[in-house]
Chain A
Amino acid sequence: MAETGRLERAAPSAPLIGPVALLRTAIILAVLAIWEFLAHSGWLYRDVVPSLLSIGRAIVDLLTHTEYYYNLGVTAGEIGMALLIGGGSGLVVGLILGGNRFLSKAYEPYLYYLGPTPKIIFLPICIMWFGVDSPSKIGLGTLSCFFPIALNVAAGMRQIDRVLIRVGRSFRASTLQMVTKIYVPAMRHPIINGVRLGFGFALIGVLLAETRMSNKGVGFQIMQADSTFDMPHMYAMLIVLFVAAIGANALIGRLGGLQDIKRS
């Protein structure tokens, strides 16, 4: 009796177009319909809600011109450098704090409480120190991503199975070997999560800095569209940006999981 009940309940997930997919499609269509209605209704000022067609055209226009890719390259480079410097220093600081109870109690609270603060307000300082060009964006990005990575690595260190460390010591591994062959692999999950968060924060930091003061990069391009009231292009850039950001986030997460299977 119970067996057949279970079988019957299992069936609904089998069809390809399940109720979930239907609902999602319905929601998306409804949103798009309302949008298009608003766009043509004339209730809102001119192009605040542009027609879907014009947005579509703007996306195509954006992706087929080199200007966007140049700006994308600039921004990606800034984010990359920020992750490198902020992530690298976050890793080192996290390893030190995580490995030493005393230092952790002394200094980790500062990181913990300074973490959830708005970093964009440091932009004037970054500009004063590094100038108006890319280095100030990298500086802000670095500041943004340092904290989540350091905190995650420190927490990760404390969660490492202690016996693995004793194994390393019993084989007389050098400090470098301990770090590269034991600590870091044992912490791969917290590290990946930290990098994911760090990437997100570096992205935000760099882009916000670009919107405020720069003459290149994706953020700059968005503000250009803003100042010329070119709404279709602004929407286009925001859409592409969000798709890229969410995609990159998922990719990093996936890479973290895949790493486990790949290691042989």
Chain B
Amino acid sequence: MATGDAILSVDDIVVRFDTAEGPITAVDDVSFKVRPGEFLSVIGPSGCGKSTLFNVIGGLLSEHEGVVSVAGETIDGPHKSIGMVFQEESTFPWRTVTDNVAFPLELIGAPRDKRIERARHFIKLVGLDGFENRYPGELSGGMRQRVSLARTLASEPKILLMDEPFAALDEQTRLLLGDKVLQIQQSLKQTTLLITHNITEAVQMSDRILVMTYRPGRVKRIVDIDLPRPRSSEIVTSAAFGRYVAEIWNDLREEASRGMQDEESHVLHHQGAAP
């Protein structure tokens, strides 16, 4: 795979934390590159450090070794070319949908009519036209995530960075929203980096999948997903899809069970079960 024209370059990232139980290495020597227009998923079990990686790439966590660069420029804090979509509910409850989506444009001082026009465009893109003047409290969880997505897209980032944005939604909503995100990504040719623990989601949407090990998180494998584009949620029924899922689950299973064992021993030790 040609890596020469990577738009995002993650090199030798190591993140260590001091916790009450001593120092831990959350992420250990992770390196990869993302090409323009590519959809790359990072998948791993809970505790593999993928959210930590998300924060490092997004520039919200600066205490790490290694370098993240966008189009050759090393990042030092949140970068204007990287847009983040968070896992938790992140819409501003006191702003309407339009004002939420227009937020990044407001920050750079765009004039009001321009802001509203651009916001309307992205609201339409995520399929929420008609809801411009509603408040997030009046919307469902899935709709609120779409607002968050539209808000990030409104800042027109070169790279879209998403941390399990559909984690709180039910399976059907997930699949449909995944469809939506795919459509958007394909029409905008948006470079996307998706952090997830859901294999189906990852295979459905990605060009490549990066599988991480359990803590300390390392790159276990990078899988090329050679399914035809454009894709939709129907693809989950194809045989090739099933094979990819099985392949990745094989890799993940080992890591996931290591994670479970670790948690169980953790609980045992902290309840003083041992004499």
Contact present between A and B (CB < 8 A): yes
A interface residues, Cβ below 8 angstroms from B? 161, 163-164, 166-167, 169-173, 177, 181-182, 185-186, 188, 260, 263-264
Shortest CB distance B10–A (Å): 17
6 sampled A-B residue pairs with Cβ under 8 A:
A164-B92, A167-B92, A171-B155, A172-B78, A181-B107, A186-B94
The reply to whether B94 and A263 form a contact with Cβ atoms under 8 Å apart is yes
Shortest CB distance A128–B (Å): 44
Contact flag A172-B60 (CB < 8 Å), given A186-B94, A260-B94, A264-B133 = no
Q: Looking at the complex, which one of A163, A172, A260, A263 makes contact with B90 (CB distance below 8 Å)?
A: A163
Q: Does B86 contact A (CB under 8 A)?
A: yes
Q: How far is the CA of A186 from the CA of B135 in the complex (A)?
A: 14
Contact flag A163-B80 (CB < 8 Å), given A172-B107, A188-B94, A263-B95 = no
The reply to whether B92 and A170 form a contact with Cβ atoms under 8 Å apart is no
Looking at B89, B94, B98, the one whose CB has the most chain A CB atoms below 10 A away is B94
The reply to whether B78 and A170 form a contact with Cβ atoms under 8 Å apart is yes
Additional A-B contacts beyond A161-B88, A185-B94 (12; CB < 8 A): A163-B88, A164-B90, A166-B86, A169-B60, A170-B83, A171-B78, A177-B107, A182-B92, A185-B92, A260-B135, A263-B94, A263-B95
Q: Does B156 contact A (CB under 8 A)?
A: no
Total inter-chain residue pairs, C-beta < 8 Å: 56
The reply to whether B92 and A264 form a contact with Cβ atoms under 8 Å apart is no
Shortest CB distance A249–B (Å): 23
Q: How far is the CA of A169 from the CA of B77 in the complex (A)?
A: 9
Q: How far is the CA of A161 from the CA of B92 in the complex (A)?
A: 10
Determine the residue in chain A with the shortest Cβ distance to B94: A185
Determine the residue in chain A with the shortest Cβ distance to B133: A264
Shortest CB distance A207–B (Å): 34
**Chain A neighbourhood of B155, CB < 8 A:** 171
Q: How far is the CA of A171 from the CA of B89 in the complex (A)?
A: 16
Identify whether the interface residues of B are mostly helix, strand, loop, or mixed.
loop
Q: Does B99 contact A (CB under 8 A)?
A: yes
Shortest CB distance B12–A (Å): 24
Q: Looking at the complex, which one of A164, A169, A172, A186 makes contact with B80 (CB distance below 8 Å)?
A: A172
The reply to whether A163 and B89 form a contact with Cβ atoms under 8 Å apart is yes
The reply to whether A170 and B95 form a contact with Cβ atoms under 8 Å apart is no
Shortest CB distance A260–B (Å): 6
Looking at B59, B92, B98, B133, the one whose CB has the most chain A CB atoms below 10 A away is B92
Q: How far is the CA of A163 from the CA of B91 in the complex (A)?
A: 9
**Chain B neighbourhood of A185, CB < 8 A:** 92, 94-95
Contact flag A170-B58 (CB < 8 Å), given A185-B92, A264-B99 = yes
Shortest CB distance B271–A (Å): 29
The reply to whether A169 and B94 form a contact with Cβ atoms under 8 Å apart is no
The reply to whether B107 and A173 form a contact with Cβ atoms under 8 Å apart is yes
The reply to whether B103 and A171 form a contact with Cβ atoms under 8 Å apart is yes
B71-125, CB < 8 A from A: 77-78, 80, 83-84, 86, 88-90, 92, 94-96, 98-99, 103-104, 106-107
The reply to whether B106 and A166 form a contact with Cβ atoms under 8 Å apart is no
Shortest CB distance A164–B (Å): 7
**Chain A neighbourhood of B103, CB < 8 A:** 171, 181
Determine the residue in chain B with the shortest Cβ distance to A263: B94
**Chain A neighbourhood of B95, CB < 8 A:** 185, 263
Determine the residue in chain A with the shortest Cβ distance to B84: A170
The reply to whether A163 and B86 form a contact with Cβ atoms under 8 Å apart is yes
The reply to whether A171 and B107 form a contact with Cβ atoms under 8 Å apart is yes
**Nearest 3 interchain pairs by C-beta:** A170-B84, A163-B88, A185-B94
Determine the residue in chain A with the shortest Cβ distance to B100: A167
**Chain A neighbourhood of B86, CB < 8 A:** 163, 166-167, 170
Q: How far is the CA of A22 from the CA of B247 in the complex (A)?
A: 75
Shortest CB distance B194–A (Å): 16
Q: Looking at the complex, which one of B90, B99, B106, B135 makes contact with A167 (CB distance below 8 Å)?
A: B90
Contact flag A170-B94 (CB < 8 Å), given A163-B88, A163-B89, A181-B106 = no
Q: How far is the CA of A264 from the CA of B98 in the complex (A)?
A: 9
The reply to whether B106 and A170 form a contact with Cβ atoms under 8 Å apart is no
Q: Looking at the complex, which one of B88, B99, B104 makes contact with A171 (CB distance below 8 Å)?
A: B104
Shortest CB distance B68–A (Å): 14
**Chain B neighbourhood of A264, CB < 8 A:** 96, 98-99, 133
Shortest CB distance B59–A (Å): 8
**Chain B neighbourhood of A181, CB < 8 A:** 103, 106-107
Q: How far is the CA of A263 from the CA of B100 in the complex (A)?
A: 12
Shortest CB distance B136–A (Å): 11
**Chain B neighbourhood of A166, CB < 8 A:** 60, 84, 86, 90
Looking at B60, B98, B103, B155, the one whose CB has the most chain A CB atoms below 10 A away is B103
Determine the residue in chain A with the shortest Cβ distance to B137: A260
Q: How far is the CA of A186 from the CA of B155 in the complex (A)?
A: 22
Q: How far is the CA of A173 from the CA of B86 in the complex (A)?
A: 17
**Chain B neighbourhood of A173, CB < 8 A:** 107
Looking at A166, A171, A181, A186, the one whose CB has the most chain B CB atoms below 10 A away is A171
